[in-house]
A and B are shown apart, each in its own frame.
Chain A
C-alpha cells in the first residue's frame, strides 16, 4: 500500500462539498460489514485487574459494551457471616486494596455504633489522618496511572515513587504497607511512634510539591487534555441514579461529599476543607477533581497534625466482643466514593448479615451507557478516568 503503487490522481473538478459526500458514501459502504466483537480482558493491562469488557465495534466506534465482572469475586458477604467482628476487619481491608485503612473505618464504626462505644478523640484523629493518607496514596497511583493509560509512561514512575513515602508513613504507624488492620473496635491497636508526626509534615510538603508536578506535567499537558477533554461525559443526575459517587460524581458538578454532608464521622466536622467540583463531567474533570482532592487531603493531614490531642487510644470494650442485636447503616467517603456497610446483628460475636456497598461497583455499572458511541482508544481513557479497583467491584 505504498504511495508509489497508486496511479496518479486524475484532475477532477468537484463542486465544494462533493468530496465530503463521497467520503461519507464510502463510510456507509463500510458500515455494511458485520460488527466486530472486541474482547478486552479478563487479563488486560488497561483494565488494571480482571475486568472483562465485551465491546461490539462498528469500525472504530463502540456500538455496545458489556462489562463482565466477577473474576475477582471472593464472597466477602458470605465469609463475614462466618467471622467474628475483629476478624472481619482483616477481611474488609482487602475490598479496596489501595485504601485498606479507609475500608476498615466504616465497619468498625458500624460495630461501635451498635455497641454504643465511642473511640477516644486521639484515636479518632489518628484514624482520620490514616484515612486521608490512604486517600493520598490511592490518588497518587491514579494520577500516574491515568497518564500511563493515555500514553505517557513517566508520570506512572513519579506516582509510584512518591507513593512510597506515604506507604512508609502508613507502615511506620501500623506495621503494614498495604493492609494495616490497625483498627480495633473502640480504638486503635497502637499509638503513633516517635517522630511520626514531624516526618508526616515533611512528607506532606513533598506530596504537595508532587501535586504541582502532576498539574504541570499531566493536567496542563496539551496532549493529555486533547485525549481527555469531552471524553466520557457523565451528567450529574444520571450518575447519581446509577449510584456513582465520590470524585466521579463531583466531577459531574454534584456538590456532595459525605465527609461534609453525611452523618458526622471521625473528626471531619472539625476540619476546614473545601469540596472540589467540576462542571464538565468528562475524563479530564475526573482527573482534575482527584488532583485537587489530593492537595486538599494533604492540607487536611497537616491540620489534623496541628490539632492532634493527647490521651488514650482505646475505649473500654469487653475482651470478647458481642454486639447487641440491631441494624445499622454506616457510610463514609472513601477515596473511590461512597463505602457503606449495612450490618445486621443478632447479638452474637459475629454479624448475621453484612451488606457491603462498595463504590466501584456502582461507578462501573454506568459503563454500558457511557461507552456507547465512543471510539476504541477512548474506552481506555474512560476506564482509567473512572478509576475502579476490581476488589471493590466484585467484592
Chain B
C-alpha cells in the first residue's frame, strides 16, 4: 500500500477511496486483550458479557498475538516492572495501531499516584489515542471509547495527513495525543527528569 504511505490516498481526488478504506478499517478492529488489573474484568465483561457484546461494534477480540492486532486496550495499573513488557508488546503491533487507555490507573496512576512501584500513566511509555476515565470504567464507558476511536479512524486522511503518518508509523501531532513514545528511563532517571526537590 504505497499509496497510503506516500500520501496519495489523502489527496482530495481519492477522497471516496479513503472514506471506504477508513470505513472498513473502523469496523474490523482486531483488539489485543491486555488484561492488567481490575479494569480487565470490566473489559472482559464488555467482550464476553452478552449484555454489552463489544463484537457488535466490529471489535474482534481474538488475535493470538500482538502482531495481528490493530488496537490495544491498556486496562489497569501499569507498574514499573510491567512497563518494559508493555512497550515491547506495543512495538510488535504493526502500523497503523491504536491505543485506548482504560481506567484511572493507566491514565495517570489513579489511586496509586504516590506509589513507589506504579507508572503514573501509560502515556509515559506509549502514545494513547483515547482515554477512558473511571475506576474502573463501566463497560458502557469502554464502548463509548471504542466509538470515539472509530470516529477518529473514519476522519483520518480526510483533509489531513494523519492516515499517511499512521501508516508510516509516525504518531501525528494531535490534541488527543498527549505524548510521544519515549525510551523508558529507569525510575531514578525519570525522577531526576521530573525534577526532585533540593536536587
Contacts and interface: CB of A to CB of B under 8 A. Distances in A.
Interface of A: 42-43, 45, 48-50, 70-75, 78-79, 82, 90-91, 94, 97-98, 141, 156-157, 160-161, 163-164, 177-179, 390-391
A112 B163 CA distance: 59
B81 interface: yes
Given A97-B37, A160-B45, A161-B51, A75 B118 contact: yes
B111 interface: yes
Nearest to B45: A160
A175 to B, nearest CB: 12
Contacts of B147: none
Interface in B96-144: 111-112, 114-118, 135-136, 138
A194 B49 CA distance: 27
B50 A178 contact: no
B57 interface: no
Given A157-B48, A161-B49, A164-B51, A45 B118 contact: no
29 contacts: A50-B36, A71-B79, A71-B82, A72-B36, A72-B37, A72-B77, A72-B79, A73-B117, A74-B112, A74-B115, A74-B118, A78-B115, A79-B112, A79-B114, A79-B115, A82-B114, A90-B111, A91-B111, A94-B37, A94-B38, A97-B37, A156-B48, A157-B50, A161-B49, A163-B45, A164-B51, A178-B42, A179-B135, A391-B37
Interface residues of B, number: 32
A49 B77 contact: no
Contacts of A177: 42, 138
A43 B44 contact: no
B89 interface: yes
Contacts of A163: 45, 49
Interface of B: 33-38, 40-42, 44-45, 48-51, 76-77, 79, 81-82, 85, 89, 111-112, 114-118, 135-136, 138
A74 B136 CA distance: 16
B42 A45 contact: no
Contacts of A98: 41
B115 A49 contact: no
Contact of A42 (B49, B82, B111, B118): B82
B104 to A, nearest CB: 11
Given A49-B36, A141-B41, A73 B81 contact: yes
B34 A49 contact: no
A212 B175 CA distance: 52
Q: Across the A-B interface, give the 9 residue pairs with the lowest CB-CB distance, nearest first.
A: A97-B38, A160-B49, A75-B115, A71-B82, A160-B48, A74-B112, A161-B50, A73-B117, A75-B117
A48 B81 CA distance: 17
Contacts of B50: 157, 160-161
Contacts of B81: 70-71, 73
Contacts of B37: 49, 72, 94, 97, 390-391
B33 A45 contact: yes
A179 B115 CA distance: 20
B136 to A, nearest CB: 5
Contacts of B35: 45, 48-49
